[in-house]
């Protein structure tokens, strides 16, 4: 499976593809070195789109994403996450309602936590019903950075 390392303002990101779509995007330890893989067109596209995103020139990702694992429920949540516009946030409760399971708020949180393709599948755009950040698998500091980067105004007591 082709892989690359991307140095972002948030630290080192690792991306993998199945040559048709991105299968993982995760935060890696800082000492991780480049894994090659830019000869894979999907990884090259993701690399370019992430550069544009972090430079403030891209708001929508077009690179295909295909998580290789996940339950039907998790996949439904991840699909709903991809519909949240840049710079906007919705609650876990809203996502639960959008996938037709309004009582599954905690399960939506669990699916967010298991998202294998961070940033491209924007789980950082989901917050608590009260406006609180609640959490982020890679650290709330990264969630705050991404939301600020996208121009979302965080309520002062959410941080």
Question: At CB < 8 A and 24+ separation, what contacts does 32-35 make?
Answer: 32/5, 33/5, 34/4, 34/5, 35/3, 35/4, 35/5
Strand partners, 8: 11
* Residue 123 falls in the annotated catalytic set: yes
Catalytic residue among 10, 89, 123, 127: 123
Cα–Cα distance, 157 to 136 (Å, whole number):
17
Q: How far is CA 107 from CA 90, 102, 104, 146, in A?
A: 15, 10, 5, 23
d(CA 20, CA 91): 31
Count the neighbouring beta carbons within 10 Å of the beta carbon of residue 9: 10
By annotation, the residues acting in catalysis are 123
């Amino acid at each position: 499976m082709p892989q690359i390392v991307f140095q972002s303002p948030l630290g080192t990101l690792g991306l993998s593809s199945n040559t048709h779509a991105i299968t993982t995007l995760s935060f890696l330890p800082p000492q991780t070195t480049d894994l090659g893989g830019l000869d894979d067109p999907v990884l090259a596209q993701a690399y370019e789109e992430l550069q544009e995103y972090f430079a403030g020139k891209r708001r929508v990702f077009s690179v295909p994403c295909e998580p290789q694992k996940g339950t039907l429920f998790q996949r439904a949540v991840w699909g709903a996450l991809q519909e949240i516009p840049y710079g906007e946030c919705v609650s876990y409760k809203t996502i639960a309602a959008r996938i037709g399971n309004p009582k599954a708020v905690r399960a939506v949180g669990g699916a967010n936590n298991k998202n294998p393709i961070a940033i491209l599948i924007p789980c950082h755009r989901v917050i608590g019903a009260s406006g609180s950040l609640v959490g982020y698998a890679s650290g709330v500091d990264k969630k705050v950075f991404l939301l600020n980067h996208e121009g979302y105004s965080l309520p002062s007591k959410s941080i």
